[in-house]
Amino acid sequence: MISELFTMTVLIGILSSGVRLATPYLYASIGETFGQRSGVLNLGVEGQMLLGAFTAFYVAMNTGSLWLGVLAAMIVGAVMGLAMAFVTVNLHAQQGISGIGFYLFGLGMSDLLFQKMMGTVRTVQGFPKIGIPFLSDIPGIGDIFFNHNILVYGAYLLVLVAWFVLNKTNLGLKIRAVGENPDAADSLGVSVARVRYFTIILGGTLSGVAGASLSIALLNVFQQNMTSGLGFIAVALVYFGAWRPFGVLIGALLFSMVNSLQLWIQVLGVPIPSEIAVMMPYVLTILVLVATVSKVRAPSALTKPFEREE
């Protein structure tokens, strides 16, 4: 049965679903990258994703418009980001712990709304696959990269945009300055508070999309606690990727590929206990963190509230 894993169709299947499954990680991790580069650790991603996933599903189900669902998820994520920004920037709350608070809020709230407003698990017709003309016809490659739904393409495009914004624009320079040396940035007239508000709200918005990508593009259902730790992994991927969009991309792909492999192992009935297979990505993440973290440096002001010297 092991040999079945290495037939061409299975291999293409694993790679293709790996590319697809990276989507929620990418949205959430890229959003988190912006926050962390400006010095704010948002640990509430999981809660934002859950509320985003519910909102997207509920709106899409009731209006019939998937895009309205995505928009609603973005708004909910942004509002949660706004609250997070107020608490961490203005009230100087401990970032890690307030993030846990937002996680619990999102976990409870999405569950409450689900039970009150839907009651049972339902499905929607999610975003359809769109084959890119010509490219999707290439044998193998086409199925792996060019035959996905629009949110999947969007996630990869986002990596490029994030890289460009962070490294090639004035805004990116400000974000990095605020994360590395807020005092210096402040003395040069950059508003530390405004930049951090921007990145945290952006992070929340993208976490909302990450949730939407789960509930109306990949799985097409909403269930209580459906993210089951995905948002926390998204935070880990930012460390994993050394705070760089392309590093995050590699981490997300590695993670989703192992995940996809694990799913196929179960489908094909390869005699490896499924629990061991499910466990692998987490073990892998810890190992990679051990191997890489000591070699790269986090943004200097990460988790430190900014207070102007009087």
Partner 1 sequence: MKKFLQSEWMSRLIDALLPVFATLAALIIGAVMLLFLGVNPIVAYKALWDGAFGSGNAFAETLVKATPLLLVGLGICISFRGDVINIGGEGQMIIGGILATWIGLTFTGLPGWLAITLALLAGFLGGAIWGGIPGYLKAYFNVNEILSTVMMNAIAVQIMNFMMRGPMLDPIQAAKASKIPQTARLIEAFRLARWSPTRLHLGVLIAVILAILVYILLWRTTLGYRIRAVGMNPLASRYAGIKVPRYIVMSLLLSGAFAGLAGAIQVYGVNYRMITDGSASGFTGNAGFNGIVAALFGQLHPLWSIPASILFGALLVGANQMQRVVQVPSALITALNGLVVVFVVSSEFLRRRRQRQRLAHAKMDDAPPDKTSQPAEASA
User: Which of 24, 69, 106, 208 contacts partner 1 by CB under 8 A?
Assistant: 106
The residue among 73 and 235 lying less far from partner 1, judged by its C-beta, is 235
Distance (Å) of CA 88 to CA 85, 176, 204, 244, 249? 5, 18, 14, 23, 27
Distance from C-alpha of 244 to C-alpha of 268, rounded to nearest angstrom: 36
Q: Is 107 in the site for partner 1 (CB under 8 A)?
A: yes
Query: Which of the residues 28 through 87 are near partner 1 (CB under 8 A)?
Result: 43, 47, 83, 87
Q: Is 121 in the site for partner 1 (CB under 8 A)?
A: no
Under the binding rule (CB under 8 A), the answer on residue 108 touching partner 1 is yes
The DSSP annotation for 242-301 comes to TT-HHHHHHHHHHHHHHHHHHHHHHHHT-SS-HHHHHHHHHHHHHHHHHHHHTTS---TT
94 binds partner 1 (CB under 8 A): yes
Out of 116, 120, 128, 134, the residue judged to bind partner 1 by CB under 8 A: 116
Contact 216, 125 (CB under 8 A): no
Compose the 281-300 pattern: x for residues touching partner 1 by CB under 8 A, - for all others. Answer: -xx-xx--xx--xx------
Q: How far is the CB of 265 from partner 1 (least distance, A)?
A: 14
Decide: is 100 part of the binding site for partner 1 (CB under 8 A): yes
Residue 54 tokens, joined: 């519910």
Single residue of 5, 82, 101, 181 touching partner 1 by CB under 8 A? 101
Query: Distances in Å between the alpha carbon of 287 and those of 33, 132, 237, 278?
Result: 21, 37, 12, 16
- Could you say which of 9, 62, 167, 228 contacts partner 1 (CB under 8 A)? 228
Regarding 115 and contact with partner 1 (CB under 8 A), the answer is yes
Question: Does residue number 89 form part of the binding site for partner 1 (CB under 8 A)?
Answer: no
Query: Are the C-beta atoms of 268 and 277 separated by less than 8 Å?
Result: no
Does the footprint of partner 1 cover residue 278 (CB under 8 A)?
Answer: yes
Stretch that binds partner 1, among 57-65, 69-77, 179-187, 280-288 (CB under 8 A): 280-288
The Cα 266–Cα 278 span in angstroms is 10
**φ/ψ (deg, to 5) at 45:** -50, -45
* Interacting residue with partner 1 among 64, 65, 112, 129 (CB under 8 A): 112
Using CB under 8 A, which of the segments 6-14, 99-107, 143-151, 252-260 binds partner 1? 99-107
Tell me which of 138, 161, 267, 279 binds partner 1, using CB under 8 A.
279
Residues 230-249 that bind partner 1 (CB under 8 A): 232-233, 235-236, 239
For residue 102, give the H/E element and its range: helix 95-117
Q: From CA 245, how far away is CA 29, in angstroms rounded?
A: 9
> Euclidean distance between the first and final Cα of the chain, in Å?
69
| C-alpha separations of 23 from 51, 101, 144, 181, 248 in Å | 17, 25, 14, 32, 12
Structure tokens at 224: 């209580």
28 close to 206: Cβ distance less than 8 angstroms: yes
Among 65, 225, 246, 267, binds partner 1 (CB under 8 A): 225
Instruction: Supply the minimum distance, in Å, between the C-beta of residue 108 and partner 1.
Output: 3
- Residue among 217 and 258 whose Cβ is closer to partner 1: 258
Q: Which residues contact partner 1 (rule: CB under 8 A)?
A: 43, 47, 83, 87, 91-94, 96-98, 100-109, 111-112, 115-116, 224-225, 228-229, 232-233, 235-236, 239, 273, 275-276, 278-279, 282-283, 285-286, 289-290, 293-294
